[in-house]
Amino acid sequence: MKNILFVLPIIFTCLFYNTGYSQGMKTQFSGTSIGNSKLTGSTVYDASTQTYLLKGAGENMWFDKDECWFEFNKIKGDFILSANLSFLGKGVNAHRKIGVMIRSDFDKSAAYVDCAVHGDGLTAMQFRASNTQNTDEVKSTVVHPEFVQIERKGDKYIVRVSKDHKPLETVSEQTFDFGEELLAGLFICSHDGNVLESAKFWNVRLEVPVAEGVDGYQQPSPSRLEILDIESGFRKLIYETANHIEAPNWSRDGKYLIYNSDGRLYKFDLDTQRPAIINTGFATSNNNDHGISFDGKTIAVSHHLEENGKRESIIYTLSIEGGTPTRITAKGPSYWHGWSPDGKWLSYCAARNGNYDVYKIPTSGGEEIRLTDAEGLDDGPEYSPDGKYIYFNSTRTGMMQIWRMKPDGSEQEQITIDNYQNWFAHPSPDGKWLIMISYLPKVPAGSHPHNQRVMLRLMPANGGEIKTMAFLYGGQGTINVPSWSPDSKKVAFVSYTY
């Protein structure tokens, strides 16, 4: 269920471009009129903002026929189509519509399902269960959503929406037999055949989840390197590769990212948008727990070492320019997560005597100091930029939640209390924010797997309202390590699609 068939000619943001390098991120969607609209619609793609500007007319999308402008892809199998969206201009008819749609074919009376946002804010899952039938709908309690999503899962179709940076709310889940190959994309209908309305769509993503039972470790996914603007919520897709990449760090000078892939570390130049391998000496089995010191001179890595009949993660440090690593932890498994601002300590998660806890150790090596002793998993320890706290995540209250403590392990306090599994809270360089990855509650508290619908969420470092900044397909490897830009305005992360 992951075979993609593109239409030619093509104009959509290519999320399945499987070379090691892609320029412009210009994809493959095609535009067409559905029905007999008097006025012809159009699409303009702005590569600099990766935004789609749609114009379209059409009397309606209702009863047994539709008229609209449709920007589409042909696709088979399971997929998730998502976008932020908004009308442009005051508009003429309150019933004008925009949204995401899946159709069985181009006929005006074709079976379809969509998430439609009306000019007056009414939002609904609308559908025609089979050709020539009348349209039906399930209305959402959310009006004027800023983000819409439609997922195909076998013969199930699920519509979700979000407003005001809240988690997704399911509008409805319906079952239809639409066939294997479908048309999926963006639409606009003016509800007046003599009027062209306009709308913009951004953060458009067409994601292909793994087939049931696929192990993300045994079958690593193709990857997309993205940058999230914290103020606007805009996601910029900067690199796509058939290789599996994980855990971008942002350099202290803001000029490049470092990520891991297949045991090696890569430097990704943000100007040329090309990766280059970093010489890490014998450490060629590095996982996604790596990061740069506050002074920008040294990088810590977690390399899997064969020793005494075991293969375990050991923490090393080396020059940011590459070279021979220096061993720091005597025992494994040890997974790096943080540098102290003064460069004197490393914080990490380690399993000792069957329990995973937070430890710290001098950057020159020596005796490790245990900071947590709760049963279960304590993970992801990262220093605040002022050195006053270590943030970490813990299952000690049932769900995986974010905690913080003083660097000596005292005054441990829970700072998130909700119904999501929250991992890897990274403080911004200015100390104002935490960015974290959140799994749905159905994921076990102690697990952070690949291949999940997840959220990137933002909260004030001292507590407060949590805002959802991005909905994506990802999980393990998306944002395991510090990934803020030096100016605290952006975050780098990895999303996945098959």
pLDDT score at 328: 98
340: which residues sit within 8 A by CB, 6+ positions away?
294, 346, 347, 360, 383, 387, 407
pLDDT score at 21: 34
Whole-number Å distance between alpha carbons of 327 and 316: 4
Question: Where do the CATH 2.120.10.30 domains begin and end in the chain?
Answer: 223-496
Instruction: Answer for the pair 411, 374: CB distance below 8 angstroms, yes or no.
Output: no
pLDDT score at 212: 83
Return phi, psi of residue 307, to 5°.
Answer: -155, 130
Return phi, psi of residue 327, to 5°.
Answer: -75, 135
Instruction: Answer for the pair 343, 361: CB distance below 8 angstroms, yes or no.
Output: no
Reduced to 3 states (helix: H, G, I; strand: E, B; else coil), residue 166 is coil
Whole-prediction pTM? 0.94
Residue 437 CB neighbours (<10 A): 28
Q: Please identify every stretch of the chain with a pLDDT value under 50, giving residue numbers as ranges.
A: 1-26
Question: Where do the CATH 2.60.120.200 domains begin and end in the chain?
Answer: 30-207
Whole-number Å distance between alpha carbons of 182 and 155: 12
What's 211's DSSP letter? P
Fold of 30-207: Jelly Rolls (2.60.120)
316: which residues sit within 8 A by CB, 6+ positions away?
283, 300, 301, 302, 303, 325, 326, 327, 328
pLDDT score at 27: 53
Instruction: Answer for the pair 319, 278: CB distance below 8 angstroms, yes or no.
Output: no
Side chain identity, residue 282: F
pLDDT score at 308: 87
Whole-number Å distance between alpha carbons of 424 and 433: 13
Picking from 446, 447, 494, 495, the residue whose alpha carbon sits closest to that of residue 473 is 495
Whole-number Å distance between alpha carbons of 159 and 150: 5
- 223-496 under CATH 2.120.10.30, yes or no: yes
Instruction: Answer for the pair 394, 401: CB distance below 8 angstroms, yes or no.
Output: yes
pLDDT score at 388: 98
Picking from 313, 317, 280, the residue whose alpha carbon sits closest to that of residue 295 is 317
Distance between terminal CA atoms of the chain?
10
E-assigned strands of 104-140? 112-118, 123-128, 136-139
Whole-number Å distance between alpha carbons of 410 and 340: 16
